[in-house]
Amino acid sequence: MNILRTNQLLHLSVFLIFIGRAYQHLFWDAPYRTFFWDEALLKPIVEGLFNRSWQEYVTDLETDTLITTIIRINGYLYLSAAMATLAFLKYKHKLFTTIIFSGGCSLVLLSILLTKEKFYHTAQFFEHTIQFGLPFLLLYYRSKSVDKKMFLFLLNLSIAITFFSHGLYAFGFYPVPGTFVDMVIQILGTDETMSIHLLYIAGILDFAIAILIFVPKTALYILLYAVIWGFLTAMARIVASIDFIFFWQSLHQNLYETIYRLPHGIVPLIAYIIQQKLTKTDDSTIQHAEERIHL
């Protein structure tokens, strides 16, 4: 696969992240209320600066409407970033760069809000490393000063952090999310105890990916495994939640979660392609050097 294919896959990944989040924000909900309804944080401002009681603030329909409007505005930002990512594939324009960068910053903020919603578990933030980091990696990749080996290292680092953080939940370092257990039960038909055991094994494998991805002799094999596992975990959101009686409704409710997680499989594929290309280049260099020695 040539470098153009890698470029296309990278743009596709960023597009899927943005369009998936746009889908979520425009049709469903996002955790902005975890900030705007934080009494400990905002009560002094609401009562001191705006001279309103906290109870009046949180029960006011205008407050809820404002939060919903903010969510929708971010949805349109993600939609614009998705379109800019496609355009950026052919045209390197400052406007597209600005929109993609702004979308990336919004993804960082979203990850912080998701972390706040999950009791400030550090792994919750870093589990989204691929999602919030990829727009910035795309801009770096398309810059004139890109170093392919450094880019590969950053890709591998984002994969390692994402999978390791995911593994902390599956392994049980943090409370195992009920959604994880439910997905295993729905897909494999196992009971709760067996599902937790399987997640424990999956967590160990996630840790192995985070380490062995940086070992030259195992990197290609680990990346292939990460491709498969990344796609499986993304598709699990649809498979586990689909209701064939209410097919389109259940698909609509859960499709966005699969869309923005598909890069968890595509990004390791990009890293695999680059790693394979660099390995062949290094082997060719060594072979030429050995031929010169024999001459």
Span 42-81, pLDDT tens digits: 999 999 999 999 999 999 999 999 999 999 999 999 999 9
User: Which of 48-57, 99-108, 139-148, 282-291 holds the top average pLDDT?
Assistant: 99-108
Asked if residue 265 has pLDDT above 90, the reply is yes
Q: Label residue 67 exposed, middle or buried (CB < 10 Å: 0-12, 13-18, 19+).
A: middle
Q: Label residue 64 exposed, middle or buried (CB < 10 Å: 0-12, 13-18, 19+).
A: middle
Q: Is 51 helix (H, G, I), strand (E, B) or coil?
A: coil
Asked if residue 93 has pLDDT above 70, the reply is yes
Asked if residue 212 has pLDDT above 80, the reply is yes
Asked if residue 291 has pLDDT above 60, the reply is no
Distance of CA 27 to the CA centre of its chain: 19
Q: Per-residue pLDDT averaged across 275-292, rounded?
A: 66
Distance of CA 52 to the CA centre of its chain: 39
- Residue 145 pLDDT level (bands cut at 50, 70, 90): confident
Residues 232, 249: Cα–Cα separation, whole Å:
22
- Neighbouring CB atoms inside 10 A of 218's CB total 15
Whole-model pTM: value is 0.93
Q: Per-residue pLDDT averaged across 218-234, rounded?
A: 96
Q: Which residue stretches of the chain are H helix? A: 3-27, 33-36, 39-48, 54-59, 61-88, 94-117, 122-126, 129-141, 148-171, 178-188, 192-212, 216-241, 247-259, 263-294
pLDDT at 283: 57
Asked if residue 289 has pLDDT above 80, the reply is no
Digit-coded pLDDT (tens) for 3-39: 458 999 999 999 999 999 999 999 999 999 999 999 9
